[in-house]
Amino acid sequence: MIIHQSYLEDIIQKLHETGLMEIIEISRDEPDLLKDLEQASMFSDAGICANYNLRVARLIGILKGIQPKKGGIKGLLQPQLPQVRTVESRSIDELFSYTEGILNNIEKSILDYDKQLNDYNDQIEKIKTDIENVNYLKDFNFDISGIGESEYVIVKAGLTSDLPTIENEIIKLDKTYILSKIFGKGKKQEWAIVLIGHISEKEKIEKISREKITEFDIKHLSGTPKKVLDSLKKEKQEINKKKNKVIADLRFYAEEQLHDLMALNEEIYLEQVRKEISKNFGKTNTTYVIKGWILEKNQETLKTTLTNVSKDHIIFDFTTPSANPDNPPVYLETPNWAKAFRTFLDLFATPRYNEIDPMIFMGIFFVIFFGIMLGDAGYGLCLLFLSLFGYIKLSKYSETIKNWSFMGIWLGFTTTIVGFLTNSIFGDLIPRFFFNNPDYQFYSFSIAGVQFPIEPLKNPLIILGVALFFGLIHLNFGIILAVYQSYKNKKYKTLITEHFSWFPIQIGGGMLIGAFLLKMWSLGTIETYIALIMFIIGIIFRIINAGPLGLFDITGYIGDWLSYARLLALGLGTTGMALAFNIVAQIIPEMIPVVGIIFVPIILIIAHIANLGLQTLGAGVHSLRLQYVEFFNRFYSGGGKKFEPFSIKRKYTKLKEGK
């Protein structure tokens, strides 16, 4: 866009309000343009905004730091929500005037209180150190003010871990004495000592002190250790009273001013952003050049809006980008239910422009695999109820809590279903303790010849078959996405040789292996030739794509497929550990008849909570690994950058309606 300089501020204001455009920095991303243009600079007001921002932020930091903190469960369940202030749109001069008025009223007082508080804290820390040092000497009856040297005597006081050596050295000196008291035991054993000697032995005493003694810095004190301790404790109490008075005054300011200051800080920051953004532009004597990205659907909206604001003093040039070399940002639409899964994808990589966004597919498979790996209805119900509580009670405090709780509901639901299908509810806790029969089953039915419930420890091959079946679905879904992506980008050779080639290899190879190795079915002559031809065609495509090394891709694919056996392994781990905990809890009363019965519930609760935590972590990590390695390896590379429009983001303020 080329804009007449008279309308620049109005255009920036409108771009900020509409949030339609991501502005790029011309000097960095389009340096060739600066051959014919100058690089624009920030508005002069940007520095004033930055200064006010720092001053207000400093006051906010002081007042937030002085507020009482909710700890433990109460703090977790009742976090403080930000208070939103309604503000009016005002000019920069009005904002500066208002800010200056606020700061004139409270800044000096708050900073003075903060300085007093820091001084009191320093004094208290010094007194604590003095008390700690004097405590070592409280059983000695001497005047602490005598520590040091006088005309005739030198006195040292401190700690040593090598009293015998010092005593041996002192024996050799004239008119030198030592008082000591032992503290601690074993390797932590130390002695508090007072070393008194004639001034003539000063050099030797100081040498001993440097090498063997950690001296106390208490020369500023006077009186016997016990009297000094009493005096220090009283002084500390007095300072604490003064400190608490300052804290009370600061908390009054926090209660009255903190939320207003946070709202003001946000207003100043938004104005600062607007004043700084011009450094990204190019300029001539009378115009400014702005470059950036918008969504294609917003093209006419942007054009109409800015044309009206600039009274037609603007020229537009819209260009549809290519993925390379333009490297445009990526606009990612995320449904509310899938926002937590977006976090998982961000941990890996953002999709490139025109690349498939795998987030929804990733989320669906993640939930399924997690449920199979955790696979216990008791643990699933725990996750479900905790997530429901977080979603209903705590989501108003945090969008993050809301999103992760929603995901937890699905994880808990899927885990519960798998647990009921595998007859696992805290392992075999209910059959073992309530029916006195670990093999008790709540139901029994069959589908397609498969008998339910399927108990993983008794029928692991069925679970392995299910795991490998889901693995084939997952891998081939990734291949289908790769085929679609290659077709969309008109990369037809890659579509056939790199991606489509896996289908004849799998179908033909599967038919042959099932017939001749696993003896699962029989093939006629024609079917055998068809399977062999399909397999050979797939191999030829692989060789065309990657040369002879393409043959190794087949073993890699088989390895990826076998990785899904971890669904069985993690499921067996959950069930096996739960079963072991239940057995241990059952035999304890037999070993300790009376006390054991009391401890059984405690042991079961602690053990199953630990197992739930460990297995949930394992299921999450391994399910993500299947997405990142096996699934993404088929079609996804990432490396894009998110579309981040120049927009107003408010947390502590909202604009008055109609303004």
Better pLDDT: 335 or 62 = 62
The average confidence (pLDDT) of the chain is: 90
**511 and 627 fall within a common domain:** yes
Q: What is the pLDDT of residues 493-552, one digit of tens each?
A: 999 998 999 999 999 999 998 888 888 888 888 999 999 999 999 999 989 988 888 788
Residue 260 domain-assigned? no
- Assign 77 a pLDDT band (cuts: 50, 70, 90): low
- Assign 435 a pLDDT band (cuts: 50, 70, 90): confident
**SS3 readout for 128-143:** HHHHHHHHCCCCCCCC
Query: What single-letter amino acid sits at 472?
Result: L
Measured torsion, CA atoms of residues 228, 229, 234, 235, in degrees rounded to the nearest 10: 60
Better pLDDT: 440 or 356 = 356
Q: Could you tell me if 643 and 353 are in contact, meaning their C-beta atoms sit under 8 angstroms apart?
A: no
Query: What single-letter amino acid sits at 212?
Result: K
Q: What is the pLDDT of residues 367-426, one digit of tens each?
A: 999 999 999 999 999 999 999 998 898 888 788 888 899 999 999 999 999 999 999 999
Please tell me the distance from the alpha carbon of residue 427 to that of residue 585, in angstroms, as a whole number.
13
**366 and 467 fall within a common domain:** yes
Residues 6+ apart with CB under 8 A from 500: 483, 541
Considering just the CA atoms, what is the radius of gyration of the chain in Å?
A: 37
Please tell me the distance from the alpha carbon of residue 86 to that of residue 393, in angstroms, as a whole number.
26
**657 and 607 fall within a common domain:** no
Q: Bridge-partner residues for 28, per DSSP?
A: none
**295 and 393 fall within a common domain:** no
What is the token pair recorded at 136? 């070592």
**424 and 485 fall within a common domain:** yes
On the question of pLDDT at 159 being above 60, the answer is: yes
Name the residue range of residue 227's domain. Answer: 133-235
The secondary structure element, H or E, covering residue 60 is: helix 45-66
pLDDT of residue 72: 59
Of all residues in the chain, what percent carry a pLDDT higher than 90? Answer: 64
Choose the final residue of a domain: 235, 254, 271. Answer: 235
Residues 6+ apart with CB under 8 A from 243: 117, 120, 121, 124
- Residue 565, number of CB atoms within 10 A of its CB: 14
Residue 411 domain-assigned? yes
pLDDT of residue 656: 81
**294 and 376 fall within a common domain:** no
- Assign 325 a pLDDT band (cuts: 50, 70, 90): low
Q: Could you tell me if 229 and 137 are in contact, meaning their C-beta atoms sit under 8 angstroms apart?
A: no
**590 and 653 fall within a common domain:** no
Q: Could you tell me if 273 and 16 are in contact, meaning their C-beta atoms sit under 8 angstroms apart?
A: yes
- Residue 366, number of CB atoms within 10 A of its CB: 24
Residue 56 domain-assigned? no
Residue 254 domain-assigned? no
Please tell me the distance from the alpha carbon of residue 600 to that of residue 587, in angstroms, as a whole number.
9
Residue 48 domain-assigned? no
- Assign 623 a pLDDT band (cuts: 50, 70, 90): very high
Please tell me the distance from the alpha carbon of residue 485 to that of residue 636, in angstroms, as a whole number.
10
Residue 217 domain-assigned? yes
Please tell me the distance from the alpha carbon of residue 19 to that of residue 298, in angstroms, as a whole number.
11
**389 and 499 fall within a common domain:** yes
DSSP secondary structure letter of residue 441: -
- Residue 560, number of CB atoms within 10 A of its CB: 19
Of all residues in the chain, what percent carry a pLDDT higher than 70? Answer: 97
Mean local confidence (pLDDT), 264-284: 95
Mean local confidence (pLDDT), 165-188: 87
pLDDT of residue 521: 85
Please tell me the distance from the alpha carbon of residue 483 to that of residue 500, in angstroms, as a whole number.
7
pLDDT of residue 658: 57
| Long-range contacts, stretch 588-596, CB < 8 angstroms, 24+ apart | none
Axis crossing angle, helix 502-512 with helix 460-488, rounded to the nearest 10: 150
- Residue 224, number of CB atoms within 10 A of its CB: 16
Count of structural domains within the chain = 3
Q: What is the pLDDT of residues 569-619, one digit of tens each?
A: 999 999 999 999 989 888 887 777 766 677 888 889 999 999 999 999 999
User: b/e string for 427-443 if b means 16 or more Cβ within 10 A?
Assistant: bbbbbbbeeeeeeeeee
Query: What single-letter amino acid sits at 393?
Result: K
Across 3-7, 64-68, 144-148, 174-178, the highest mean pLDDT is recorded for 3-7
Q: Could you tell me if 376 and 415 are in contact, meaning their C-beta atoms sit under 8 angstroms apart?
A: yes
Weakest mean pLDDT among 281-285, 308-312, 409-413, 450-454? 450-454
Q: Could you tell me if 155 and 148 are in contact, meaning their C-beta atoms sit under 8 angstroms apart?
A: yes
Q: Could you tell me if 379 and 616 are in contact, meaning their C-beta atoms sit under 8 angstroms apart?
A: yes
Predicted structure pTM score: 0.80
Mean local confidence (pLDDT), 619-637: 93
**489 and 400 fall within a common domain:** yes
- Assign 212 a pLDDT band (cuts: 50, 70, 90): very high
Please tell me the distance from the alpha carbon of residue 447 to that of residue 363, in angstroms, as a whole number.
28
Residue 112 domain-assigned? no
Burial class for 633, CB neighbours closer than 10 Å (0-12, 13-18, 19+): middle
Rounded alpha-carbon distances, angstroms, from residue 72 to 75, 77, 79, 386, 398 = 5, 9, 11, 17, 18
**378 and 479 fall within a common domain:** yes
pLDDT of residue 596: 67
- Residue 588, number of CB atoms within 10 A of its CB: 17
**512 and 569 fall within a common domain:** yes
Q: Which is nearest to 636 in space by CA: 471, 475, 467, 502?
A: 475
Dump the DSSP string for 4-30.
EGGGHHHHHHHHHHH--EEEP-HHHH-
On the question of pLDDT at 659 being above 60, the answer is: no
**617 and 646 fall within a common domain:** no
- Assign 172 a pLDDT band (cuts: 50, 70, 90): confident
Q: What is the pLDDT of residues 83-129, one digit of tens each?
A: 889 998 889 999 999 999 999 999 999 999 999 999 999 999 999 99
CATH number at residue 183: 3.30.70
